[in-house]
C-alpha cells in the first residue's frame, strides 16, 4: 500500500451509488443542498441510487432539530434518499470491528503516546522550526509488547514513501506525497471510532461508488485511501466540488446568504424549483441555458462539467429565477403558499383567481402576499400616504361620478368595465388615468396594483362600489 492511483475503473461496471452525508450540527445550508443536488442528479442521470447518511457521531453538536431541518429541507427540494437514511453513530460497533481488523492485519497499531508526550514533541518541533509529524515508536512495536492496562489510540500506518494520486472527477489529477500523510487516529482511547474511519466504512458498506462532496474534504480523501487500501476495498470515484463564495468572492457567510434552506423558503418566499435550478447553475452549466427544470437537468448533468473554481452566490439571480418559476406555477398552489403570509382571513378561491395578475411582476411569495393584501382588506381601507395624496376634493368628486356610472353597469366583467370607464373618460374629456388613479387609491389603498379593471373584477361589484363610495364625495351608502 505504498503508493498508487485512486482511480482505475475498478468501480466502472457497478451501478452508480452516491450519497449525501450531512453532519447534523446545524441547518441544511445552501452548500449542503447543492452537494445533495449534485449527488441526486448524478445518480438519476446514471439510473443509480442516491443515499443519505446522517453523520451524527459528534454527540455534543448533533441535534434532533438539525436532523429534522435537514430532512425537511431535502424533502422540500425533492432530494429525499432512495432508501431510509443511515445513521452513522448507530454503526459505531461496525467501525470498531474494522479498526480491529486493520490492527490484526498490521495496517494499524496501538499507539500509547500520551497527549502530554505529543504536546512536548509538537513544541520541540516548533522550537526547532521543523514541521511536526507523528513518529510513534509504537508503529513498529510487536503486538505482543502492547500493554493491556494502559490507554491507547489506534492509528493507521500511513505509507511513508512514494505518493498517492486521486483522479478527481472535478479537480483532475491530485497528487500528495505520502510523507505528508500522518499516522492518523481511527479509534480514540475511549474506543470510539473517528470520523475518518466511519466515513470509509460506511461508504464501503453502503456500496458507494461515487463520493461527491465539498472540496474541503479533499485532504481527507488521501487519509481515507489509506484505510481503503488497508481493507483492500474498492476505491470509489471522487468528485470534490468547490465551495460556494459570496457575490464579493469572499468565503460564504451569513451576510452573503449562507442561510438555511428553510430561510429561503420561509423568509424569502423562494419556490423549491427555483432554488433547485439556481443551485444547479451554481458551478455547473450547460451552454448558456439558465432555465433548466428537473427532467432536463437529469438528462444533461455530468459531474465532469462542474467547474474547478468557486462559484459566487447571487441573490438577485435567484430572485429572477424565482420570478420565472412563479409565473409558471399553478395558481391554486401559489394561493396555498401565499395564504399563511396574509393577515386575517383570505378566500383561497379569490386568491387563486387573482394569481395571474399578481404574479406578473412578483419575485417571491412575499411580493405576491403584499400584492394580494388589498383583496382582503377590511373597510375603511388603510391608505398609504401617496394614495391619500391622490384623493383630492376633485378626485373625490370624480369617484362619486364613477360610482354612479358603475352602479348601472349590468355585467361586471373586464370588457364591460373597460368600455364603460373609457367612454366616461372621453365624455369628461379626461385621460383615463385621471379616473384610474383615484379609483386605484379607493379600491386598494395604494398607488400601485394590478390593472384597474382586473382589480374591479376581482373585488366584485358590491365590494368595489362600497370601497368607491367610502372615498367618494358623498356620504357612503347614499345615492350618488
Numbered residues of the known binding site for ATP: 254
Interaction between residue 22 and ligand GLU (CB under 6 A): yes
The stretch near ligand GLU (CB under 6 A) out of 21-29, 259-267, 319-327, 335-343 is 21-29
To the nearest whole angstrom, how small is the minimum distance from the Cβ of residue 128 to ligand GLU?
35
Interaction between residue 169 and ligand GLU (CB under 6 A): no
To the nearest whole angstrom, how small is the minimum distance from the Cβ of residue 199 to ligand GLU?
5
Each residue of 305-322: b (16+ CB within 10 Å) or e? ebeeebbbbeeeebbebb
Q: Of 199 and 206, which has the nearer Cβ to ligand GLU?
A: 199
Interaction between residue 157 and ligand GLU (CB under 6 A): no
Tell me the site size for ligand GLU, rule CB under 6 A: 7
Q: Of 219 and 352, which has the nearer Cβ to ligand GLU?
A: 219
Residue with C-alpha cell 470509489?
Answer: 236
To the nearest whole angstrom, how small is the minimum distance from the Cβ of residue 259 to ligand GLU?
17
Q: Of 22 and 260, which has the nearer Cβ to ligand GLU?
A: 22
> Which DSSP state fits 288?
T
290 cis-preceded (ω within 30 degrees of 0): no
End-to-end CA distance of the chain: 95
To the nearest whole angstrom, how small is the minimum distance from the Cβ of residue 447 to ligand GLU?
49
Segment 52 to 71, residues that bind ligand GLU, using CB under 6 A: 55
Q: What are the two backbone dihedrals, phi and then psi, of residue 309, each rounded to the nearest 5 degrees?
A: -95, 155
Interaction between residue 213 and ligand GLU (CB under 6 A): yes
Interaction between residue 202 and ligand GLU (CB under 6 A): no
Helix (H) or strand (E) holding 210: strand 210-214
Is residue 422 within 8 Å of 432, Cβ to Cβ? yes
Is residue 432 within 8 Å of 452, Cβ to Cβ? no
Q: Is 174 helix (H, G, I), strand (E, B) or coil?
A: strand
Interaction between residue 199 and ligand GLU (CB under 6 A): yes
Choice among 254, 308, 386, 422 that is catalytic: 254
Interaction between residue 34 and ligand GLU (CB under 6 A): no
How would you classify residue 460: left for phi > 0, otherwise alpha for psi between -120 and 50, otherwise beta? left
> Which DSSP state fits 77?
T
Interaction between residue 21 and ligand GLU (CB under 6 A): yes
Is residue 276 within 8 Å of 80, Cβ to Cβ? no
49's CB contacts (< 8 A; 6+ apart) are 15, 16, 17, 18, 43, 82, 83
Residue with the closest Cβ to ligand GLU? 213
To the nearest whole angstrom, how small is the minimum distance from the Cβ of residue 9 to ligand GLU?
22
> What grid cell was written down for 149?
492496562
Is residue 480 within 8 Å of 441, Cβ to Cβ? no
- In the residue annotation, 386 being an active-site residue is answered as no
Interaction between residue 73 and ligand GLU (CB under 6 A): no
Q: Which of 5, 23, 192, 296 binds ligand GLU (CB under 6 A)?
A: 23
To the nearest whole angstrom, how small is the minimum distance from the Cβ of residue 359 to ligand GLU?
37
> What grid cell was written down for 357?
395578475
The stretch near ligand GLU (CB under 6 A) out of 16-24, 105-113, 408-416, 429-437 is 16-24
> Which DSSP state fits 342?
S
Rg of the chain in Å (alpha carbons): 32
Q: Which of 94, 121, 217, 312 binds ligand GLU (CB under 6 A)?
A: 217
The stretch near ligand GLU (CB under 6 A) out of 19-27, 63-71, 296-304, 322-330 is 19-27
How far apart CA 286 and CA 306 sit, in angstroms, is: 10
Indicate which residues carry an active-site annotation. Answer: 254
Which residues bind to ligand GLU, rule: CB under 6 A? Answer: 21-23, 55, 199, 213, 217
Amino acid at each position: 500500500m505504498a503508493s498508487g492511483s485512486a482511480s482505475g475503473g475498478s468501480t466502472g461496471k457497478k451501478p452508480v451509488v452516491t450519497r449525501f452525508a450531512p453532519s447534523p450540527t446545524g441547518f441544511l445550508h445552501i452548500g449542503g443542498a447543492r452537494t445533495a443536488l449534485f449527488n441526486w442528479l448524478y445518480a438519476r442521470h446514471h439510473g443509480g441510487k442516491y443515499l443519505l447518511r446522517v453523520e451524527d457521531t459528534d454527540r455534543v453538536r448533533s441535534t434532533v432539530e438539525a436532523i429534522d431541518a435537514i430532512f425537511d429541507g431535502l424533502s422540500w427540494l425533492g432530494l429525499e434518499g432512495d432508501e431510509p437514511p443511515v445513521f452513522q453513530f448507530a454503526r459505531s460497533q461496525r467501525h470498531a470491528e474494522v479498526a480491529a481488523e486493520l490492527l490484526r492485519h498490521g495496517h494499524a497499531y496501538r499507539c500509547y503516546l500520551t497527549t502530554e508526550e505529543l504536546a512536548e514533541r509538537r513544541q520541540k518541533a516548533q522550537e526547532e522550526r521543523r514541521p511536526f509529524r507523528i513518529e510513534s515508536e509504537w508503529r513498529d512495536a510487536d503486538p505482543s509488547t502492547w500493554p493491556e492496562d494502559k490507554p491507547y489510540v489506534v492509528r493507521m500506518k500511513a505509507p511513508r514513501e512514494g505518493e498517492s494520486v486521486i483522479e478527481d472527477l472535478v479537480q483532475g489529477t491530485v497528487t500528495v506525497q505520502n510523507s505528508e500523510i500522518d499516522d492518523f487516529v481511527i479509534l480514540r482511547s475511549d474506543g470510539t471510532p473517528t470520523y475518518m474511519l466511519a466515513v470509509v466504512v460506511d461508504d464501503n458498506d453502503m456500496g458507494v461508488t461515487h463520493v461527491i462532496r465539498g472540496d474541503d474534504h479533499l485532504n481527507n480523501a488521501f487519509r481515507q485511501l489509506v484505510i481503503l487500501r488497508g481493507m483492500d476495498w474498492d476505491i470509489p470515484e471522487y468528485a470534490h466540488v468547490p465551495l460556494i463564495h459570496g457575490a464579493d468572492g469572499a468565503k460564504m457567510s451569513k451576510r452573503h446568504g449562507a442561510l438555511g434552506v428553510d430561510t429561503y423558503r420561509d423568509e424569502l418566499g423562494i419556490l423549491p424549483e427555483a432554488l433547485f435550478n439556481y443551485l444547479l447553475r451554481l458551478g455547473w452549466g450547460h451552454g448558456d441555458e439558465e432555465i433548466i427544470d428537473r427532467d432536463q437537468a437529469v438528462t444533461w448533468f455530468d459531474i465532469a462539467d462542474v467547474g474547478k473554481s468557486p462559484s459566487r452566490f447571487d441573490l438577485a439571480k435567484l430572485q429572477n429565477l424565482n420570478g420565472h418559476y412563479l409565473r409558471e406555477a399553478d395558481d391554486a398552489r401559489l394561493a396555498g403558499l401565499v395564504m399563511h403570509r396574509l393577515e386575517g382571513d383570505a378566500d383561497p378561491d379569490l386568491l387563486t383567481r387573482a394569481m395571474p395578475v399578481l404574479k406578473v411582476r412578483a419575485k417571491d411569495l412575499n411580493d405576491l402576499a403584499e400584492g394580494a393584501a388589498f383583496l382582503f382588506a377590511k373597510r375603511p381601507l388603510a391608505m398609504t400616504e401617496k394614495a391619500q395624496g391622490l384623493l383630492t376634493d376633485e378626485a373625490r368628486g370624480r369617484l362619486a361620478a364613477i360610482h354612479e356610472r358603475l352602479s348601472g353597469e349590468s355585467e361586471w366583467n373586464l370588457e364591460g368595465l373597460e368600455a364603460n370607464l373609457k367612454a366616461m373618460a372621453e365624455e369628461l374629456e379626461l385621460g383615463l388615468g385621471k379616473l384610474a388613479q383615484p379609483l386605484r387609491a379607493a379600491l386598494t389603498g395604494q398607488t400601485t396594483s394590478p390593472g384597474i379593471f382586473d382589480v374591479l373584477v376581482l373585488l366584485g361589484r358590491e365590494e368595489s362600489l362600497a370601497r368607491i363610495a367610502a372615498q367618494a364625495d358623498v356620504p357612503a351608502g347614499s345615492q350618488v
